[in-house]
Amino acid sequence: MPEGLSWPCNDKINSALAPAHATLLTQGPAQDAQSAPQVHSQKLIKVLEVMQMEKYLSIFLVNLGLLVSGFSSAFSGILIQVKYHMGNHGIIMPNEYTLGLSYSGWAQMHKVAIVMLTILMIFHLVRHWKWYRIVVKKRLIRKKQQVVTLTILFIFVAVTGLIPWLIDLMNGDEMLRKALVEIHDKLSIILTLYFILHIAKRFKWFLTTFERMAGSAAHSIAR
Could you say which residues in the range 131-170 bind ligand HEM, by CB under 6 A? 131, 147, 150-151, 154, 157-158, 161-162, 164-165, 168
Q: What is the DSSP letter of 1?
A: -
**Alpha carbon distances (Å) from 92 to 96, 101, 102, 184, 187:** 9, 14, 11, 17, 21
In whole angstroms, what is the distance from residue 5 CA to residue 33 CA?
27
List the one residue out of 82, 80, 154, 67 whose CA is nearest residue 111.
80
Which C-beta is closer to ligand HEM: that of 24 or that of 121?
121
Which C-beta is closer to ligand HEM: that of 24 or that of 150?
150
Region from 14-22, 32-40, 44-52, 186-194 binding ligand HEM, contact rule CB under 6 A: 186-194
Binding flag, residue 74, ligand HEM (CB under 6 A): yes
Which C-beta is closer to ligand HEM: that of 22 or that of 119?
119
Which C-beta is closer to ligand HEM: that of 26 or that of 171?
171
In whole angstroms, what is the distance from residue 43 CA to residue 54 CA?
17
To the nearest whole angstrom, how small is the minimum distance from the Cβ of residue 11 to ligand HEM? 14
Which C-beta is closer to ligand HEM: that of 7 or that of 45?
7
Count H helices and E strands in the chain, helices first.
6, 0
Could you say which residues in the range 104-133 bind ligand HEM, by CB under 6 A? 107, 110-111, 114, 117-118, 121, 124, 128, 131
Region from 47-55, 73-81, 94-102, 213-221 binding ligand HEM, contact rule CB under 6 A: 73-81
List the one residue out of 209, 222, 215 whose CA is nearest residue 57.
209
Binding flag, residue 70, ligand HEM (CB under 6 A): yes
In whole angstroms, what is the distance from residue 92 CA to residue 106 CA?
12
Binding flag, residue 17, ligand HEM (CB under 6 A): no
**Alpha carbon distances (Å) from 23 to 11, 13, 45, 216:** 19, 16, 11, 21
In whole angstroms, what is the distance from residue 179 CA to residue 176 CA?
5
Residues of the shown chain interacting with ligand HEM in the complex, contacts defined by CB under 6 A? 59, 63, 66-67, 70, 73-74, 77-78, 80-81, 107, 110-111, 114, 117-118, 121, 124, 128, 131, 147, 150-151, 154, 157-158, 161-162, 164-165, 168, 177, 181, 184-185, 188, 191-192, 195, 198-199, 202, 205
